[in-house]
């Protein structure tokens, strides 16, 4: 394992341990932690590019990713609850980031096939993809998306961590996979696979309580309305028409007070809730698995060796 890989593994583990502890206690992770991890990642990346005498295209990709990353934390977004707002400075920064990503292709006609440059091209794309996954509710919390973006800057390319990972792709697909399947995406996939243990655990918990309702037994548990868990979303509703309905995937940020009042008025004292699972814990495990074991999806698809 080279010095850059060791530094990234140590730094990522340390920051994610702190994030996991915070997420477990409060279901929140403060932005300064992600800003610090992303900034450290950029410092390590800049050092690596200097050592490798990387071409200007690699620096251009890195600059594009950095602009997109910091835009998440600083400045007001273009889209808010009351609609779209044209913010000239912000739009200009996004345009600069886009130009910095397109420039290597426009000038050379292709991404240089040496060093870390090819994989670096996917780094800004992964920053945008992380934000898109949050908007599409694939990532359920803002910290999940920010964490994935920070990991993208910390480990923008597959690390030289020999003898790890233990699971590697078939050589026939490895080079292309490293570009279209960035390392941070491997972290997220491994974390998602680890997270599959949560529905199984919930079902076992409900089975022991003789609550066999499907599918909600895989997604949550029954809780008393007069002692509703702090870190949980209510899955049951009473509609304005008086219908008692089940919402399998509640929207984040909802205030349950009115729904609790309606349920109590309807004679309900225990309702199904889905826990706000601390994804930072699976993300930490996924980060370690990606480094030391590899892409678990390769094993599932039979592409690993």
pLDDT digits (tens, 9 = 90+) for 19-71: 999 998 988 899 999 999 999 999 999 999 999 888 888 899 999 999 999 99
Q: Among 302, 286, 284, 287, which residue's Cα sits nearest to residue 167?
A: 302
Residue 118: per-residue pLDDT = 73
pLDDT tens, position by position, 118-163: 778 889 999 999 988 888 877 777 889 999 999 999 999 999 888 8
Residue 109: per-residue pLDDT = 55
Q: Answer with the residue of higher pLDDT: 151 or 304.
A: 151
- Please list the alpha-helical segments (H only) found in the chain: 3-26, 31-51, 56-73, 88-108, 117-120, 122-135, 142-154, 171-180, 183-195, 197-208, 216-219, 257-265, 280-292, 296-301
Region 277-285: mean pLDDT is 92
Q: Among 199, 203, 167, 171, which residue's Cα sits nearest to residue 282?
A: 199
Question: What is the average pLDDT score of the chain?
Answer: 87
Residue 305: per-residue pLDDT = 59
CA distance between the termini of the chain: 20
State which H helix or E strand residue 246 sits in.
strand 244-246
Is the pLDDT confidence value at 85 over 90? no
Residue 220: per-residue pLDDT = 93
Residue 108: per-residue pLDDT = 62
Q: Within 10 Å of residue 269's Cβ, how many Cβ atoms? A: 10
Region 155-176: mean pLDDT is 82
- Model confidence at 259, in pLDDT bands (50, 70, 90)? confident
Is the pLDDT confidence value at 176 over 80? no
Residue 257, φ and ψ in degrees, nearest 5: -55, -45
Dist. CA 252–CA 258, nearest whole Å: 15
Two tokens, residue 164: 């790890």
Residue 253: per-residue pLDDT = 63
What Cα–Cα distance (Å) separates residue 304 from each residue in 30, 165, 174, 293? Answer: 37, 11, 10, 11
């Amino acid at each position: 394992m080279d010095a850059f890989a060791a530094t990234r593994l140590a730094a990522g583990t340390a920051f994610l341990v702190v994030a996991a502890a915070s997420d477990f206690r409060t279901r929140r992770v403060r932005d300064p932690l992600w800003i610090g991890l992303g900034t450290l990642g950029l410092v390590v990346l800049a050092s690596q590019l200097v050592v490798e005498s990387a071409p200007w295209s690699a620096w251009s990709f890195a600059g594009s990713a950095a602009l997109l990353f910091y835009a998440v934390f600083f400045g007001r977004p273009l889209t808010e609850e009351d609609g779209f707002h044209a913010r000239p400075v912000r739009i200009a920064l996004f345009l600069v980031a886009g130009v910095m990503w397109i420039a290597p292709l426009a000038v050379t006609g292709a991404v240089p096939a040496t060093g870390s440059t090819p994989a670096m091209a996917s780094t800004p794309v992964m920053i945008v993809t992380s934000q898109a996954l949050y908007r599409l509710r694939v990532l359920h919390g803002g910290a999940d998306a920010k964490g994935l973006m920070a990991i993208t800057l910390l480990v923008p390319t597959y690390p030289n961590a020999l003898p790890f990972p233990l699971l590697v792709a078939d050589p026939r697909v490895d080079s292309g996979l490293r570009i279209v399947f960035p390392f941070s995406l491997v972290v997220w996939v491994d974390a998602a696979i680890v997270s599959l243990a949560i529905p199984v655990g919930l079902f076992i918990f409900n089975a022991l309580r003789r609550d066999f309702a499907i599918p909600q037994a895989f997604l949550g548990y029954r809780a008393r309305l007069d002692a509703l868990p702090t870190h949980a979303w209510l899955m049951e509703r009473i509609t304005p028409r008086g219908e008692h309905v089940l919402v399998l995937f509640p929207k984040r940020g909802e205030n349950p007070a009115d729904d609790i009042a309606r349920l109590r008025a309807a004679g309900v004292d225990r309702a199904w809730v889905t826990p706000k699972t601390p994804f930072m814990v699976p993300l930490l495990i996924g980060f370690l698995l990606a480094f030391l074991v590899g892409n678990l999806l390769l094993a599932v698809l039979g592409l690993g060796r």
